[in-house]
Amino acid sequence: MRLCHERAFVASNTRVAAMTMQDIGWNDAFEKEFAPYYLKGWKPARLIRDNRITYGALLEDGQELEVSMSGKIYHDAETDAELPAVGDWVALQVGACGEETVIQARLTRQSCFSRRAAGQSAEEQVIAANVHIVVVVTDAGQDFNARRMERYFTLIGRCGAKAVILVNKSDLYPDAQNQKAAGDIRALNAEAEVYVTSVENRQGLEGLRNVLKPGVTVALVGSSGVGKSALINLLLGDEWQWTDEVNGITGKGRHTTTARELLILPKGGILIDNPGIKEVQMWTDEGTLREAFSDIEVLSRDCKFQDCKHGSDAGCALRQAVEQGELSSARLEGYLKLDQEIEKLRGRRTKRQLIVDRHARRSQQSKARKRSDRELARELRP
Ligand SMILES: Nc1nc2c(ncn2[C@@H]2O[C@H](COP(=O)(O)OP(=O)(O)OP(=O)(O)O)[C@@H](O)[C@H]2O)c(=O)[nH]1
Ligand SMILES: [Zn+2]
């Protein structure tokens, strides 16, 4: 079968063209889940671009296809979060000449990096699916914000990914300032890998390079202007110079931050770049909140009253810890604010659930009505 709308993904970059499914994130669990789809003649592919109506999908043979969702996938999804997203593995029914290639199924996500959608919606927004590592880029100056970092950690923890933090632009700040920022970040999350880097001077990047291995999917996030694009260009650029094939990966030369993209790095690793994320909004649950602030949770057991609001309540252990310098007041404020936010989120989620339930009931009723109409019509048929 010849494919019409296929585009060579990496036409003359032999190193990437020789990649395997594992190089782009495939593993045994996906293989097992895919078994019934092989029987239908469907092909596995990873979504590398979200064009809203269509998606870019990368197939085993290195071909990139423009694909669309089947009606079933669209209608079965109760929330946007269930729709295919960049990083998802899907089953494609590849169209013959002139026919569309259609996503017939989405494989179970092994992890999912998501946030609450902007605006009033309580709906989860998937940033990237099947992510192993989230790299947060920040700097020790203007961008540094421990509260925001806490939020990143909450989201990353919920996703089950490893956190790698780059305190970038180190060439612009005194070493002590860079080290202090890195130390503050480590204090928030002992498991995070924190590196002081200068993309400009190509310094401090060994740690990141070490986690970028074939098959490992990395999502790159951070405020605007912290150096994400510069970093991507560096990671891709090295190899581009090697291969003399500057347009090999994106087909348009240097990486541009216009759409969500999944990039296969020439030296191994899969990078998902999310230019859209200016500020991480929370999509989380109480459990994750408690985990992120487990030290405060433990402290609060010493509050005199079990329902202590940690405000002006008498005998508040948290306030006392702040007074004694054992807990930073900013961190306590962050904790209290997150709590409020989750309350609000829960309210919106309940409301949304009601709407979904009502909708489901209505469509059940209308289906039942249609069924009984059909039965009646059949009975009345001469
Ligand atoms: N001095 C210095 N400048 C850097 C460094 N890394 C990046 N820059 C510069 O900072 C500016 C912004 O970097 P970008 O890579 O465009 O930032 P970004 O995170 O991709 O920003 P968005 O695309 O808006 O999300 C550019 O002029 C970079 O050259 C660094 O380590 N040191
Ligand atoms: Zn208290």
Domain ranges of the chain: 7-106, 112-273, 286-364
- In the block, residue with structure tokens 């993309």: 199
Ligand 1 center–CA 373 separation, angstroms: 64
What protein residues have CB closer than 5 angstroms to ion ligand 2? Answer: 303, 308, 310, 316, 318
308 is in an annotated binding site: yes
Minimum-distance ligand 1 atom for the alpha carbon of 257: 23
Please tell me the residue having the least CA distance from ligand 1 atom 10.
Answer: 227
Ligand 1 center–CA 198 separation, angstroms: 10
Ligand 1 center–CA 187 separation, angstroms: 26
pLDDT of residue 114: 83
Per-residue pLDDT of the chain (382 residues; tens, 9 = 90+): 333 333 333 333 333 445 789 989 999 999 999 999 999 999 999 998 887 678 889 998 878 888 998 888 888 887 778 889 889 999 999 987 778 899 999 999 999 888 765 454 556 778 889 999 999 999 999 888 887 888 889 889 888 899 999 999 999 999 999 999 999 999 999 999 999 999 999 999 999 999 999 999 998 888 777 888 788 888 876 543 332 233 333 333 333 333 446 788 878 898 887 644 434 444 445 555 566 677 888 899 999 998 898 988 889 999 999 999 988 888 888 788 776 766 766 665 565 456 555 555 655 566 566 566 666 666 665 5
**Cβ burial, residue 44 (10 Å; 0-12/13-18/19+):** buried
pLDDT of residue 243: 28
CATH architecture of the domain 112-273 equals 3-Layer(aba) Sandwich (3.40)
Please tell me the residue having the least CA distance from ligand 1 atom 15.
Answer: 227
Strands (E), 9-88: 43-50, 54-59, 63-69
Superfamily of domain 7-106: Nucleic acid-binding proteins (2.40.50.140)
Identify which of 170, 200, 232 to mutate to test ligand 1's pocket (most ligand atoms within 8 A of the CB): 200
pLDDT of residue 28: 96
pLDDT of residue 134: 93
Nearest-angstrom CA–CA distance, 25 and 101: 21
Within 6 Å (CB) of ligand 1, which residues are found? Answer: 168-169, 171-172, 198-200, 222, 224-230, 257, 275
The predicted model scores a pTM of 0.69
pLDDT of residue 170: 97
Calculate the alpha carbon distances from 311 to 211, 253, 329 in Å: 43, 55, 12
> What is the fold, at CATH topology level, of the domain defined by 286-364?
Ribonucleotide Reductase Protein R1; domain 1 (1.10.40)
Nearest-angstrom CA–CA distance, 182 and 193: 10
ipTM field: 0.95
Count other Cβ atoms within 10 Å, centred on residue 374: 10
